[in-house]
């Protein structure tokens, strides 16, 4: 067995409360491009156009936002969990999973079968839409139906307020309840496994660092280097699905 896989399997075997921290690199293996990578949305769109303040103040910005969001939603809706997602679900089945903190908005942890109460979508979800005025929630497919019928900017049925997918945009406040829960799990875990995150988007990326500060061991599986590699007990630069899948299979 590859020594890195053997070391990872040992860390997982010894742990009792594992915190998974997942990023875009976990979902690229399910066919969802990283926004920042070649072929990602930021090649087609200028991310500065989608700042939250522009969304709420400019109808044209809202139209552009919905165009961009609809572009990516179809891929997310049809994507299927890869081997790493199924490995995480196994960790829950065997009683080792404390929680999942994910930067992803693609619903794949849910599709893989992890318990909703164990999943913190720290950047929100693309699968739900809400009114910024009254808070009414809509299933994303309902709103996508309106977009496909020719509506460029959907508004709330009840109060005519602005509708927006329940994702966190640039300049939008992070959900304090989710951040607090994530920090609590970071403090309580004995192993934090970072999967497919470059750990550059803050404040979410502070969660694995918090786990290390609280005494947890750290494993990072990511194709590229991260700022926390030097603090990790194990770093694997490889396919996330292959590496984590092999480790969980080994135990």
Write out pLDDT tens, residues 33-65. 876 666 556 566 676 788 999 999 999 999 999
CATH number for the domain spanning 155: value is 3.30.1600.10
123 is catalytic: yes
Quick one: 22 exposed, middle or buried, by C-beta within 10 A (0-12, 13-18, 19+)?
buried
Q: Indicate the number of domains in the chain.
A: 2
Which of 46-55, 179-188, 235-244 comes out lowest in average pLDDT?
46-55
- Catalytic-labelled residue, pool 86, 109, 110, 123: 123
Same domain, 99 and 193: yes
Q: What is the CATH number of the domain that holds 200?
A: 3.40.50.1220
The pLDDT of residue 43: 65
Give CA–CA dist 102/121, Å, rounded. 5
Cβ–Cβ < 8 Å for 191, 9: no
Considering the domain architecture, whether residues 237 and 200 belong to the same structural domain is answered as: yes
- Residue 20, domain extent: 1-32+81-123+175-251
Strands across the sheet containing 124-131:
137-139, 124-131, 163-167
Are 93 and 161 in a shared domain? no
Q: Indicate if 228 and 184 belong to the same structural domain.
A: yes
Distances (CA, A) of 95 to 11, 107, 240: 15, 22, 21
pLDDT at 49: 80
């Amino acid at each position: 067995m590859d020594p890195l896989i053997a070391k990872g399997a040992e860390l997982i075997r010894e742990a009792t409360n594992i915190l998974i921290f997942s990023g875009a690199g976990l979902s690229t293996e399910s066919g969802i491009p990283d926004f920042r990578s070649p072929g990602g949305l930021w090649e087609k769109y200028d991310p500065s156009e989608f700042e939250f303040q522009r969304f709420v103040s400019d109808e044209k910005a809202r139209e552009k936002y919905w165009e961009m969001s609809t572009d990516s939603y179809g891929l997310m809706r049809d994507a299927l969990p890869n081997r790493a997602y199924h490995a995480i679900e196994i960790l829950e089945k065997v009683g080792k999973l404390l929680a999942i903190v994910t930067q992803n908005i693609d619903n794949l942890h849910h599709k893989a079968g992890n318990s909703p109460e164990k999943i913190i979508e720290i950047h929100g979800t693309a699968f739900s839409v809400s009114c910024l005025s009254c808070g009414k929630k809509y299933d994303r497919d309902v709103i996508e139906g309106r977009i496909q019928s020719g509506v460029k900017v959907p508004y709330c049925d009840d109060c005519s307020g602005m509708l927006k997918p329940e994702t966190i945009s640039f300049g939008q406040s992070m959900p304090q309840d989710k951040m607090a829960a994530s920090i609590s799990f970071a403090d309580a875990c004995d192993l934090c496994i970072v999967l497919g995150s470059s750990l550059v988007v803050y404040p979410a990326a502070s969660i694995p660092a918090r786990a290390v500060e609280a005494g947890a061991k750290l494993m990072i599986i990511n194709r590229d280097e991260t700022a926390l590699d030097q603090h990790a007990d194990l770093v694997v630069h490889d396919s996330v699905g292959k590496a984590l899948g092999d480790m969980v299979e080994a135990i």
